[in-house]
Every structure is written in C-alpha cells, then in structure tokens.
Amino acid sequence: MVIGQGLAGTVLSLMLESDGKSVLVADTPELNHCSTVAAGLLNPITGKRQTLAWKASEFFPFASEFYKAAEGLLEHRFFYPMPVKRVLSSVGELNTWSSRVEEQPFSDFISTPAFCKNPEGIVSTNGCLSIESGGWVDFPEFILRTREHFSSKKAFINLKINWTDITQTQDGFGFGENTFSKIIFSNGWPADPIWNFLPFTPMKGEIITIETEYDFSDILVGSCFVLPVCTNTIKAGATYDWRNINTEITPAAREELLNKTDSFIAGNKTVVNQQAGIRPSVRDRRPLLGEHPEIDHLYLFNGLGSKGSSTAPLLAKWLIDFIYHDQSLIPEVDLKRFK
C-alpha cells in the first residue's frame, strides 16, 4: 500500500505497477499537498550561485523519459519540455557564463548557441543564457489522471491513514479487511509520527499567478522564475520561509514576488492568484528513502524538498530496486544516515 498521492506517491505507484506489483493507493485531499501548488519546474541550473543541480546528469534524462512514458500510459498531456532562459542581469554575469559554457558538466546542459537575445518584455540588455533539459510538469493534471487510473482498477481509496490505523500481522500489515506485504509512506509534510526520528525541516513556499502585458513562450529565470501558463499569464515563484509553517497566503510574499518579477519583466502586471504550500525538506537537503529501522517492510519515500519534479522518478526507481531487487540505496538518500 502507498500512503499519500502527491507527486511522490504518484510517481512511485505508477512505477510499482510497471514493475508488476499490485498497488493500493491512499490519499486524502484535506491535508497539505504542496504538489498541487508547485510550478513543477525542471531547471538543471539553479540557485543564487547558479550551480548545476545535484546529480543532474542522472536525474534529468531519467525524469524526461519517465514523464513521456507516463503520458502514453495515462493518455493525457502533462509534461512540457521547453528551454529555460536565464536572464543575464549584468555584464559580469555574461562574462562568468561566457567562460563556463564550454566547461563540463555545465556544457551538457547549455544549448548551442549558448546565448540568445532577450524575448520582448525583458528589462535587461545583456541577453539570456539558453539552458537545455528544462520544462515543467503539470502536477495537478498528472496526479488527477493517475488517481483516475488507479480508481478505475479499484486500487485507490480516498482516506487518511495513520500508522496507528494499521495492524502488524504475521505476513505483513492489515488495514480493515485488506492485508499488505509492504507499506510505503509517501505523504510529504507532516510525515507520520512513526518517522519522527528523522530531521524534517519543512519549508513554506508561496507562488503568484500574474497577467502580463507580454506573452512569453519560455521559462525565464531572473531574480525569481517565471513560467508561462497561458496567453499573457505567468506563474512567478517561489518564496522560502522556514519560520511560518502554515498554508496561509501573505501580502509580504506577494510583494516580494512582484518586486522580483518587476526587476526583469517589463510592463503592468495584475496578480490573479496566490497559493502557498509546505515543502517536505530535510536538514541536509537530500531525500529520505528506505526502511524503518525497527519495523520490517515499512518504507518511506519523502524529503523531495524543492526539486521533486526532476528527482522523483529516479528516486522511486532506486527505492523499488532496494525493496524488491536487492539493490542498496546510496548513502546520501538512505534514511539510515540519521539513525
């Protein structure tokens, strides 16, 4: 049984099914589900220091293949590969990238030609860096279609399930009339108290949807990211707040994101939506995968933090290989590192 069907549970359940396993998926919509708030961006070069994402060469190609295959299975579109354009805010930034674009491992993620003119509506005059392997996943659509898929096989239940609702039997676990050989918690933040020994550091994030004067066709990254969602409409995000762990939207976050957007996108803007969610982040910013140290066959797939779209598919494969195919987890993702 997979408990929690945000992005983590969605990817994991589909992969378990394609590995020939029979799965029951449980989820309840009332709880925090940051997957339905997230922009779903895949961007291999991120952060203030513009570094290559952790294990980008492994995660990005695998994620892209996985989402394409999932679209085929579910017969719906939710994966949108597209260039990511880094708006170069200064001549210094342009010079830094001019010397970096030929260097490994950056060169694998930079388009040819590496630099392009700004799209109309961009304030800076230094052009953009073109980044490959980017795009976005429409998480709500992906989650909904996967839920329909499992519902049509009577393999989805709309229920909140806690560890205390489950009984341990000789062969595994019992819940109501059902028995399971294995249980995997993939319920984001807050995790079930049975996992309380792990150092989750939840991180609130807010995102705004804005109507703009200009119509963009690429993902743009300046002092924040901007994702075109439909004609003259973009999503801009996201904030990071580790102090106020709640899902309230705030005027401060709206102002911060509008100011950041104004710093590189020209013209009038109207905020038409604002959302907040809590990322399941971990103290060392690495995912949490593996088996409970005291309960056999009880597993965790969590800690996707702010990068779930690119990492979830390969992480799910690693967890399945660990559970069913006798493969070890790499220490950086294995929850045993916190025992």
Ligand X SMILES: Cc1cc2nc3c(=O)[nH]c(=O)nc-3n(C[C@H](O)[C@H](O)[C@H](O)COP(=O)(O)OP(=O)(O)OC[C@H]3O[C@@H](n4cnc5c(N)ncnc54)[C@H](O)[C@@H]3O)c2cc1C
Q: Which residues bind ligand X (CB under 6 A)?
A: 3-9, 26-29, 31-35, 37-41, 160-162, 186-188, 205-207, 237-238, 277, 279-280, 302, 304-309
Class of residue 316 by CB neighbours under 10 A (exposed 0-12, middle 13-18, buried 19+): buried
Reading the block at residue 230, the tokens are 């439909």
Least Å distance, CB 8 to ligand X, is: 3
| CA angle 119–124–125, rounded 5-degree value | 85
The least distance separating ligand X from the CB of residue 112, rounded to whole angstroms, comes to: 26
Q: Which is nearer to ligand X, 37 or 122 (CB)?
A: 37
Closest approach, Cβ 276 to ligand X, in A, equals 7
Using the minimum distance from each CB to ligand X, give the nearer residue, 7 or 129. 7
Which residue, 126 or 302, has its beta carbon nearer to ligand X? 302
Q: If DSSP codes are grouped into helix, strand and coil, which group holds residue 2?
A: strand
We find the least distance from the C-beta atom of residue 29 to ligand X, in angstroms, to be: 6
> How many CB atoms are closer than 10 A to CB 178?
10
The letter for the amino acid at 72 is G
Minimum CB separation from ligand X for residue 246, in Å?
12
Judged by CB, which is closer to ligand X: 10, or 130?
A: 10
Which residue's beta carbon is nearest to the bound ligand X?
6
Element (H, E) at 269: strand 269-279
Nearer to ligand X, 127 or 218 (CB): 218
The smaller minimum CB distance to ligand X, of residues 44 and 127, is found at 44
Provide, rounded to whole angstroms, the least separation between the CB of residue 65 and ligand X.
17
Q: Which residues are CB-neighbours of 301 under 8 A, at least 6 positions away? A: 8, 9, 12, 184, 185, 186, 287, 288, 289, 315, 316, 319
Smallest distance, Å, CB 190 to ligand X?
8
Please tell me the distance from the alpha carbon of residue 196 to that of residue 163, in angstroms, as a whole number: 12
Nearer to ligand X, 4 or 222 (CB): 4
What Rg value do the Cα atoms of the chain yield, rounded? 21
**Cβ nearer to ligand X, comparing 6 with 127:** 6
At its nearest, how many Å lie between ligand X and the CB of residue 326?
26
Neighbouring-strand partners of residue 279: 203
Specify the residue, 127 or 135, whose C-beta has the smaller distance to ligand X.
Answer: 135
Tokens encoding 177: 């009339």
Cα–Cα distance list, 54 to 84, 215, 299 (Å): 18, 32, 24
- Report DSSP state, residue 191: P
DSSP 58-114: HHHHHHHHHHHHHHHHHT---EEE--EEEE--SHHHHHHHHHHTTSTTGGGGEEEEE
What is the closest distance, in whole angstroms, from the C-beta atom of residue 53 to ligand X in the complex? 10
Residue 212 CB coordination number (10 Å): 21
DSSP state of 30: T
Strand partners of residue 184: 2, 299
